Chain A
């Protein structure tokens, strides 16, 4: 359903304009190029968080829970495969969620998805701002305008790198409401890898679609339950390369223990690790191609978010990542890669003994 601005028109008229603005906008100094493309957060001194930047980000984090809004947003991603962009209509209502609509294009039909509002992470304290402040130095670096609205600009820098730290992301925060109106993420060389910006926004007018929204799995796993899961053979590292901290854990019931979902983030990049008992079916997966990462054979999907799938022992791992490719490779290499084993006798005996032991284990 169209709203104030035709999305197709936005693609044709506003898209190139926004790209131009994103690339040549004054007031945004290009992040310094790093000699170490792999430079990540937490590699040196602890992050320094400016009080004013923290206050603005806290306000931004709370804004979607206080007000509805709608607008047209331009989203882009840059990778080694090239650049791609899309213009979407965004409608948000506090407590209900966000509906994202994309118009039909010559290559794809119109699509719409409603993402239900999510609760606080089950593991990480402090929410998005807490995770971000634990990994990056935060400071206010300027002011400007986005979609005709005054904004403050906050930069997140990787601590312990070059003088002043290398920028990892910038946030343009609406001065009136606190909403994030524009966001850019940079790789280790200072190149933009992700960007989204409102080209038009209206506060107080969002209308989430009435269809059932997609929501995160309801069964959350807290720190105590996670320890029990480790005891039952599930691999649950607290930190993955990046470094990325474990921020949330959930489970979906199903056959052979269901699927466990571990979410990792540094406040900018996100990686999900899904573990499922079994072994990968057939000779491959549709839409995936075979690759070798750090000597391990895996199946990779080039979509965004990126997916990497493999079998280790009797567990199928699926990594879904919105993170730099190098980080994804390091995460995949850090996870188990044992030869796939079938349900042999020793394996069954071992599981049976574990099961008998669990009957007598008061903490199991």
Chain B
């Protein structure tokens, strides 16, 4: 009997049907090569299944915990005129912005951090709203009936019949005249009026 070959993997995954599984297991019981291959296959799958998920780094965890902390009072509105000395936008030479932020952590600096987060959130919200607006309006414009869905030719015969069918109910007289008129040019010659 030939070896199981690719069916080893299916057997290890439990994907074979009942009869195929019984047949495969009967073969494995007498075939050392296939048995070894099945064991190896199962070992690999067990190792993959027991592998730990990658843990987040301490820095990421610290950042997440920082986000969860309660913030201080909101800072003054950004558009108000500054009352004190002008704060330089860049940190003093030799002092990294990151070191400055970490070293000065305290109640006041937490308030500033909250303000930055608020501004950041506001920016995210604005960007999100803008994206939604662009999406909605773009879709609306694209989906709006063009009104000029290509040049059109009015269906003359159909409109004449529709006219006769509708107006015969609101005028007096037999519909014979109106219907005969819709027969077309034989009833009435086409010619300029003036």
Residue ranges of A at the interface with B (Cβ–Cβ < 8 Å): 57, 60-61, 73, 75, 77, 80-82, 84, 86, 88, 90, 92, 98, 100, 102, 105, 107-108, 111, 113, 115-116, 118-121, 124, 127-129, 131-132, 169, 171, 180, 183, 194, 196, 198, 214-217, 247-248, 250, 252, 255-257, 259, 261, 263, 265, 267-268, 270, 272, 274, 276-282, 285, 287, 289, 291, 300-305, 307, 309, 314-316, 318, 320, 322, 325, 341-343, 347-349, 351-356
Contacts and interface: CB of A to CB of B under 8 A. Distances in A.
Given A277-B147, A281-B153, A307-B159, A263 B189 contact: no
A265 B172 CA distance: 11
Contact of B149 (A77, A90, A102, A278): A278
Interface of B: 136-137, 140-141, 143-154, 156, 159-194
A180 B191 contact: no
A138 to B, nearest CB: 11
A113 B183 contact: yes
Given A280-B151, A309-B154, A115 B190 contact: no
Contacts of A128: 169-172
Given A277-B148, A304-B187, A318-B154, A352 B166 contact: no
B133 to A, nearest CB: 10
A295 to B, nearest CB: 14
Contacts of A300: 192-193
A259 B174 CA distance: 27
Given A279-B151, A280-B152, A352-B141, 12 more contacts: A57-B172, A61-B172, A77-B181, A84-B188, A108-B183, A128-B170, A248-B166, A261-B159, A276-B152, A291-B192, A349-B141, A352-B137
Contacts of B162: 216-217, 250, 252, 261, 272, 274
Nearest to A344: B148
A322 B188 contact: no
A263 B172 contact: no
Contact of B170 (A115, A196, A263, A314): A263
Nearest to B165: A216
B66 to A, nearest CB: 40
A116 B189 CA distance: 27
Contact of B193 (A302, A320, A356): A302
Contact of B188 (A121, A250, A285, A303): A303
Contacts of B189: 81-82, 84, 302
A131 B192 contact: no
A267 B171 contact: yes
B188 A73 contact: no
B154 A316 contact: yes
A127 B144 contact: no
Nearest to A349: B141
A113 B186 contact: no
Contacts of A307: 156, 159-160
21 contacts: A73-B174, A75-B177, A98-B179, A100-B175, A113-B183, A115-B179, A250-B166, A261-B162, A277-B145, A278-B152, A280-B151, A285-B156, A302-B192, A303-B188, A304-B188, A314-B147, A342-B148, A343-B148, A348-B141, A349-B141, A355-B140
A345 B163 CA distance: 36
Interface-central residue, A100, A215, A314, by most chain B CB under 10 Å: A100
Contacts of A322: 163, 167, 178, 181
Contact of B163 (A90, A129, A270, A276): A270
A343 B181 contact: no
A259 B149 CA distance: 13
A210 to B, nearest CB: 17
B181 A303 contact: yes
